[in-house]
Each structure stands twice: as structure tokens, then as C-alpha cells.
Amino acid sequence: MLSRDADSCYWIGRYVERAEAAARMVDVHYHAELETAYPVAGLEPDAAFTPMRWASLLAISGSARDYQARYVSENDRDVIQFFVFDTENPGSILRTWTGARENARSIREQIASEMWESLNVFYLELLEWDADRVLAGPPHEFFQAVKNASHLFQGILNRTMLMSEPRDWLDTGRFLERASQTARLLDVKYHDLLPAYISDAPGVVAGEAEAAAPQARPPNPYGVGGPLDMHGWIAVLKSVSAFEMFRKTHRDGIRPSSIVDFLVLNPTFPASVRHCIARVEGCQRRISGNQRDEPKTEPERLLGRLRADLTYIRSDEIIRNGLHQFLESVQDSCAEVGKAITGTYLSY
């Protein structure tokens, strides 16, 4: 397979997944913030209402500097414009979907015609939207449309593509992107909770530095473990379509360690980091023709090391040593794998 064709397949997979992830991140953050606009028992009425806060989403997405260079304030309209329609933002939904469409157009002989049509139809629909129209109705409806378009494309891919090298490159791109974005989405939620920390024992809250010797404190509705915090964790699960499967797997309720275990370490959930990395490694081994245990290429070496880390670590250990640091390291590892894949196969 030509490097330029493999590169196009790889980036189609990444761009479609990135567009869906952007829709999920903005959607879950927007509606989780709306939860804090309702009065909470025990709080003063004026303290129970807070403006929409976008700083954590901008910080974790790595977009804060780019946003501040072009926008004056962090209001709803400007943030949605930035994450959805700003073509100067490489992570915006319009920019990434356009990238997927242009790559698909260049390799139409390698993919099914239905795949091209699904990308092109939704691209034309996107051009009819703007930030004002999104905010004129429930924003969730627009973001759900983005997710549905991504699901339609991936369903067509799964139904029509041969199990061949182009399919492996598409899957390499989408599962590598999904692993990184799951870690990023979980990190957005964790960023909102800093610097609080709660153990799984009820009523125990402490700073991260005091985790080894927690102190009993009164429950805080806005703190970790409070009712709004539980709404936030549920929103995170729903944002990756994981809520129902999580409840079937963990019947002991919503606990941060259980959520980390499910979204990061579960080997069978399709959006978990561990599952995605295993899928990417399988694709890369088929592409290289490697049937041995040891890695044959640099991407295989990096993927094998990351998969081993995710296999043998435990969620309690991750939280104890710093969830934010661990999620950052996962994102850095995914970026390193991406660079190795480009250097090994896609530079032309």
C-alpha cells in the first residue's frame, strides 16, 4: 500500500474520532456545568448559581493559548465557535471533519462509496450551522448529530471494508485517537475537581498530599463525592456511552476508582484506553506481518510497553499516585506512538 494512501486512511480514522471527541467534551462540560446552576440544599441561594466555566476544558484540551489569542472572553458563544466552527483551531469539529472528507476524496478507490457519502453529506450539513443556531436550541441536539454522523461512518466502515491493510490503517487512526481522547475527557473532569481528593470510604476527604492520612470533614455538595460531583461522574460515563455498561460491570455504585478502572483499564469496553491500545497494537502487527512475541518496529515496541503498563497497574494505584499525572502520561505516550507510526510508515 502506498504511504500516501495509508496516511489518508490513518487520518480519516483520527479526524472522525477527533470530531466526535470534541462534540462529547463540549457537550458533557456544558451540561455538567448547567447542573451547578440549580440550588443545592444547605447553600445560600446566591452561592448556588455559578456562571459557565470553560477554563478547565480549554486547559485540558491544550487550546487555552490559541483561544486567548483570538477571543476576548470565555462566553458560551465564543467557546462553541472555537471548538465547533473555528477553522483556525486544528481540533474544531468543522476543521477535523473537513480533513476527514478531503482525505477520503483523495482515496475514494480504497474505501466504500458509502463511507465517502456519509462524510460528504454531514460536511454539507455542518456548513448550514453556526454558533448562534447551536445556542438557539438545545446544544445537546447538535452535538448528538455529530456523534451520530461519526457512528454512521464507523458502522459503514465495519460493514463494508475488507479486513485488509486499508482497514488496519483506518482502525489504527481511530483507536489511537480514541485512547487519547478518553484519557483527555477523564482529565477534564479531574481538572474540575482539583485540589480535592476522596477515598472510597464515605465521609473521608483530603488533599492529594494528605491522601496517606485522610481527615474526616463534613460533606461538601460541591466537593468530590458530593451530589453535584456524582452528577459529573455520571455525565462523564454518558459522554462516552459507558453508563449502562458501567452499571452492569460495577454494581457497587459510582466511585471514582471504579470509573477509572472501567474507562482506563477495562480490556473489553470499546472506549477504554487499554482496549484501544490493544486494537492499535494488533493493527500494527498485521501491517508489519509480525507474528513473534517481540516487537518488530518502533510503534510495536511503544504500544507493547504501554499495553503492559495498562495491564498490570490498578485503579487505586493510579489515583494514589496522581490521576492527572497518569492521564497526561497516557496522552504523551499516544502522541509518541503517533510520531513513531508517521516516522516508520507515513513519511513520504
Residue 229 has a pLDDT of: 60
Low-confidence ranges of the chain (pLDDT < 50): 38-50, 195-227
The alpha carbon of residue 86 and the mean position of all alpha carbons in its chain are separated, in whole angstroms, by 19
Q: Are 58 and 74 in contact (CB under 8 A)?
A: yes
Q: Which three cell numbers stand for residue 331?
A: 496522552
Task: Using alpha carbons, select from 230, 11, 238, 245 the residue that is nearest to residue 144.
Answer: 238
How high does pLDDT run on average in the chain? 85
* Contact partners, residue 326, CB within 8 Å, separation at least 6: 318
Cα dist. 172→32, 50, 329, 337 in Å?
31, 41, 20, 11
Nearest to 287 by CA among 341, 234, 221, 210: 341
Strand order in the sheet with 204-207: 196-198, 204-207, 215-216
Cell 444547605, located at residue: 42
Q: What is the pLDDT of residue 78?
A: 94
Which residue in the block uniquely carries the three cell numbers 465564543? 78
Q: What is the pTM of this model?
A: 0.85
Is there a contact between 272 and 264 (Cβ–Cβ < 8 Å)? yes
Listed by start position, the domains of the chain span 1-161, 162-348
Please report which residue ranges of the chain form alpha helices under DSSP H: 3-35, 55-60, 64-70, 76-80, 93-106, 113-126, 131-136, 139-160, 165-193, 227-239, 243-249, 256-260, 273-288, 298-312, 315-321, 323-341
pLDDT of residue 330: 96
pLDDT at 40: 43
With a CB cutoff of 8 Å and minimum separation 6, the contacts of 80 are: 26, 131, 134, 135, 139
Angle between helical axes of 273-288 and 323-341 (0-180°, round to 10): 20
